[in-house]
Structure 1
Amino acid sequence: MKRIDFQDLYFGHASAETEVSRDSERFLRTFYDRWKISNNVVNYDQFLIVGPKGSGKTAISEYMRLHLAEVHGDAHVFSKTLNLDEISPGVSPLAAITQKLVSDQATGLTDSAWRLFLSLRLFEMLLQDQSCSLSGDPKVINLSKQLAEAGLMPSDFPSVLRKVRENKVSFSIKALIGGESATKQSDEVSVAVLGESLERLVLTAQSDNYFILSIDGLDRIISDNPAYWLTLAALLRVGDDLHRKLHSAHAKMRILVMCRSDVFRKISFADSDKIAGDSALFVDWSAHQTKPQDSPLWDYLAAKSETTPEVLFTHLPRYVTVGLRNSQPRKIPTAEYLLTSTRSTPREMTMLMRRLQAEVPAGGYVTSERVRAAVDYFASRDLLTTVKAEATGVLQNEISERLEEILSSLPEAQGVTPEDLTNAVVSSGLDSERMGPLSEFLFMAGLLGNFNPQTGYVQFYHRRDTYRFKRSGPWQLHRALMYAFNIPYVRSV
């Protein structure tokens, strides 16, 4: 069997949307279905997809849509993805919500707004289906016109929330859900309770087709805006309720909510533990195993390249030599070196392997030097760009703008103390109080790990998102950042 050159192996793209747009058939064929998503589609097992940025939440949504289309045909699958943090003309992102709209005293209104918003989006999809029982019904068409005139079709969530709070509009919908003619003013329902009525209409609609509504864009963390967190809590409450009702009604509709794991941990409400236990799929690529080559990320890359992990390893050198300027350079197994140079996500492994391919000339081989060059490029370009994007909304602008300056001032990668990070913050011209929020962000982003000097054990959040941040330190900086800023592993004596 002819050996395939390393440069010819396929590792996918950093963005699932890009991969699907370029070759949806290949995306479907090479998808690594670690969580048996195809079964979950049929069984309604989960609606909430939780995982760190780059873990493949959007890829799961795309796979579910394409899997249904493969089984039932493209014409029988209707799908829509909503990016709730989208910033475009006429669209208000969730970040725009303030305590004037959402508060602890008005959680019922926020829940009602989400129920209406989600029901509206499902209603829109059903109207696109000519075989649906709603299609062609004069009363439904009239309701659709009323909703459009009220500015609810289409609409963003903040706009829907404002209309629910104002509660100035009524709609003729009782005839559709109660079987009677709605001719009186009393037969109309106000916009504040419209969500419940529209939900009933959606749940009783009949169709032979399938519908998937995906909610994305919850990757920002607006830490200083309590209204944002109350809004997300309401979304998960209502989403879980709607998910269960769709299941009970045997409806051919699915709702998916993609949520970053550190965002999910900050959302607080009474039933969050039940949702996590019953309705959430945690996209976990953690390295619980003892050997780096046993990581499921190698199975992911093997599935993409349509080969096996063992074949992939034959393309790689056994070790990568580091510390060549020292009297005793170290040899690190290549699988460990590559894996720990990322934050253990499919996106970053894909980006790193594609970069490694760019380092290898046509017909050439992967060498220790080329692996190091690929990691250096990935760390200083790709990872830093990603980290700065993740800091948006989490850190205040003056901190995120000085992030590279702060990190490059650290005296060592292993054994970083709160004093070290404070000194780096102060040297960049900021107050020492900024160290706390920065250190927690770095931990939640998987860039700073808890370090135990006695055992040498390091806990990175991206390896297991149940780890808690050790505020007293010491910490260890991620290997990729150590390379990106040329920080010594241990400080000079």
Structure 2
Amino acid sequence: MIDFKKVYFGCADADTEAERNPQTFKKVFFDPHNYMEELISGDRYILRGRKGDGKTAFSAQIKLTASENGFYSYQRSLNNFNNTTFAKIKTYDNLGGNPYISFWKCVLLIECVRMIYKYEPHIQTPEYVDIVDALSKSGFLATDNDIAITVTRLVEADSALNIKSVFQHNRKYAHDVELRGAEEIYTAIKNSIKDIYLPRKFILIIDGLDDILNNTEFKAEIITGLIRAVDEINRVFKKTTLSIKTIILIRDDILNLCRDPNLSKISRDSGIRLSWAIDGNPYDSDLIQLVCKRIDEVAGYQNSFQNVWKEIFPETIRNKSTLDYVLDNIIYRPRDILQFFIEIQKEFVLGKKLTSEKIETALARYSDEYFVDAMRDELTGFFSDDVVTKLPDILIKMGTRYFYLSEFENECSHYPEFEGIPCRILLEKLFVAGYIGQHRPRERMDYTVFSYRNPREKFQEDHECILHRGLTRALTL
């Protein structure tokens, strides 16, 4: 029997895990479909999935392995981003159909220059030197800046930049000019860097889009503009001497808010969707193989999960396979199953098999300390903080695992925090995220669906809702 407590199941946040234990993280990182290769060298650049599906793990692995694989990576987060900044842009008339596309193109190329300057500070191409000098004087290249500061500075400058003319072929006649408008600045930067030869590729990673939701001025067009800008930049730099690629990490529920005539084509042609659905034998699923990868490090051999599971866990709980029983109490996501195993480690004693009581204790702690907070995190930004905070109390007050939309609406009507809140939209969001399921009526027998098990299912407002077992346990219903 292995010492199960020695298995490293990581942290709730992949960036934290990669920072604390980089070598272990690189070893146990699991990429069953070779998405890393596609993100780095292929045409796809949108990594999408539910919250907790592992998008940040991919970006962390890209950063950790960049040097050994011969490329540079640079991650920029939209944390601390304020949507109201865009309202101050005075050059809307020159920004095209979506007023954010040109602006984002400008911001992203400024970030690309920052990335190039960070890793290759000695480039002496005259046009590039002029751009770096102008951006530095305007405060764009300060090392402690985040991308939100870049946006703010560009807005404050009214999309203007004083620079020596990068269009003059004869440097003798170069003169100072003021570039005005995001598109003009973008074009100038693009022209100054596109023909630079550097042997390594540059990967710019954009994440933290969750934070954009946390603002009353949120507009889906802002995200749409960012995606369109990245698409254009990737197309341009795929054909230039300098190799740059931008990758976006985005939640499905945020991407689904975006509307654009070309977005569905972009998402289909350039997106990778992470999915951990279990079809057939759970031991063969990607989700269990992800756990297996971590156990292999301690067990000393590959595909160790099934043997270790049989050594440590009882065969059944409540007349059901123990593995199936555990899977019924989580959502099929890497973060969820790894957090469950962290709780199991607290109950493990070397040389002793776990009892069903210890597993129930671990599941109760998992539900109390992780599951409810994970639900709140998933709703944050889509609904007010008061609604998100109060929701578990309402579910408890209803006193049942099974309910209809009308019953939920009736209970919510007693709370001022829910005034004006569309309860149908709230339940649909909970269904898509996996925190509730629904009963589907059939002539022979009703059946229950959850979106993480049945991705094609849609919320039906006239069907009975059922709380996930993780919620039921946490709310003691």
Deviation at 1:442, TM superposition (A): 1.4
The match for 1:122 among 101, 108, 112 is 112
Deviation at 1:181, TM superposition (A): 5.3
Deviation at 1:350, TM superposition (A): 0.7
Distance in 2, matches of 1:397 and 1:179, equals 59
| Superposed CA offset, 1:369-410 (max 9, x none) | 111111111111111122222322111232112122012123
Deviation at 1:161, TM superposition (A): 5.6
Distance in 1, matches of 2:166 and 2:159, equals 17
Q: Secondary structure at the match of 1:278?
A: helix
Match for residue 152 of structure 2? Answer: 159
Deviation at 1:427, TM superposition (A): 4.2
8 Å CA contact retained: 1:99, 1:226: no
Q: Secondary structure at the match of 2:434?
A: coil
Q: Does 1:423 align with 2:427?
A: no
Residues 428 and 320 (structure 1 numbering): CA distance in 2 closer, same or farther, change over 3 Å? Answer: farther
Gaps of 5+ in 2: 297-301
Deviation at 1:147, TM superposition (A): 1.6
Q: Secondary structure at the match of 1:401?
A: helix
The match for 1:232 among 198, 223, 226 is 223
8 Å CA contact retained: 2:82, 2:215: no
Q: Does 1:17 align with 2:15?
A: yes
Deviation at 1:294, TM superposition (A): 3.8
Match for residue 306 of structure 2? Answer: 310
- Normalised to the residue count of structure 1, the TM-score between the two structures is 0.84
Partner letter of residue 424 of structure 1? E
The match for 1:44 among 39, 42, 45 is 42
Distance in 1, matches of 2:98 and 2:419, equals 41
Q: Secondary structure at the match of 2:21?
A: helix
Distance in 1, matches of 2:212 and 2:431, equals 14
| Superposed CA offset, 1:283-327 (max 9, x none) | 11123x144444321000001222423224323222223xxxxxx
The match for 1:412 among 400, 403, 422 is 400
Q: Does 1:340 align with 2:340?
A: no
8 Å CA contact retained: 1:99, 1:227: no
8 Å CA contact retained: 2:46, 2:248: yes
Q: Secondary structure at the match of 2:72?
A: strand
Deviation at 1:354, TM superposition (A): 0.8
Q: Secondary structure at the match of 1:204?
A: coil
The match for 1:479 among 448, 466, 469 is 469
The match for 2:277 among 253, 273, 286 is 286
Q: Secondary structure at the match of 1:34?
A: coil
Gaps of 5+ in 1: 88-92, 322-330, 488-493
Deviation at 1:66, TM superposition (A): 2.8
Match for residue 324 of structure 1? Answer: none
The match for 1:201 among 192, 198, 212 is 192
Distance in 2, matches of 1:181 and 1:467, equals 67
Match for residue 90 of structure 1? Answer: none
Partner letter of residue 305 of structure 1? I
The match for 1:320 among 317, 320, 323 is 317
Partner letter of residue 369 of structure 1? E
Match for residue 171 of structure 1? Answer: 163
Q: Secondary structure at the match of 1:128?
A: helix
Q: Secondary structure at the match of 2:413?
A: helix
Q: Does 1:438 align with 2:426?
A: yes
Distance in 2, matches of 1:411 and 1:291, equals 35
Residues 123 and 430 (structure 1 numbering): CA distance in 2 closer, same or farther, change over 3 Å? Answer: closer
Identity between Structure 1 and Structure 2 (%)? 22
* Aligned pairs (5 A) from 1:89-100: 93-97=81-85
Match for residue 325 of structure 1? Answer: none
Q: Which moved more, 1:31-40 or 1:473-482?
A: 31-40
Distance in 1, matches of 2:459 and 2:241, equals 43
8 Å CA contact retained: 2:134, 2:163: yes
Match for residue 351 of structure 1? Answer: 339
The match for 2:74 among 65, 75, 80 is 80
Deviation at 1:281, TM superposition (A): 0.7
Deviation at 1:14, TM superposition (A): 2.1
Partner letter of residue 475 of structure 1? C
Residues 380 and 244 (structure 1 numbering): CA distance in 2 closer, same or farther, change over 3 Å? Answer: same
Q: Which moved more, 1:459-468 or 1:384-393?
A: 459-468
8 Å CA contact retained: 1:413, 1:482: yes
Match for residue 299 of structure 2? Answer: none
Q: Secondary structure at the match of 2:69?
A: helix
Distance in 2, matches of 1:399 and 1:262, equals 18
Partner letter of residue 111 of structure 2? R
Match for residue 270 of structure 1? Answer: 261
Distance in 2, matches of 1:243 and 1:459, equals 39
Partner letter of residue 377 of structure 1? R
Distance in 2, matches of 1:40 and 1:94, equals 32
Residues 106 and 175 (structure 1 numbering): CA distance in 2 closer, same or farther, change over 3 Å? Answer: closer
| Superposed CA offset, 1:424-482 (max 9, x none) | 32344555753234213312322122321434433323345554322233222111001
Q: Which moved more, 1:232-241 or 1:401-410?
A: 401-410
Count of equivalent residues: 459
Q: Cα RMSD over matched residues?
A: 2.8
Distance in 1, matches of 2:18 and 2:369, equals 25
Distance in 2, matches of 1:179 and 1:108, equals 36
8 Å CA contact retained: 2:99, 2:225: no
Residues 464 and 179 (structure 1 numbering): CA distance in 2 closer, same or farther, change over 3 Å? Answer: farther
Distance in 2, matches of 1:227 and 1:106, equals 20
Q: Secondary structure at the match of 1:50?
A: strand
Q: Secondary structure at the match of 1:71?
A: coil
8 Å CA contact retained: 1:285, 1:463: no
8 Å CA contact retained: 1:52, 1:462: no
Q: Secondary structure at the match of 1:398?
A: helix
Q: Does 1:296 align with 2:286?
A: yes
Match for residue 490 of structure 1? Answer: none
The match for 1:396 among 384, 404, 419 is 384
Q: Secondary structure at the match of 2:238?
A: helix
Q: Secondary structure at the match of 1:402?
A: helix
Distance in 1, matches of 2:414 and 2:287, equals 39
8 Å CA contact retained: 2:439, 2:465: yes
The match for 1:457 among 447, 452, 470 is 447
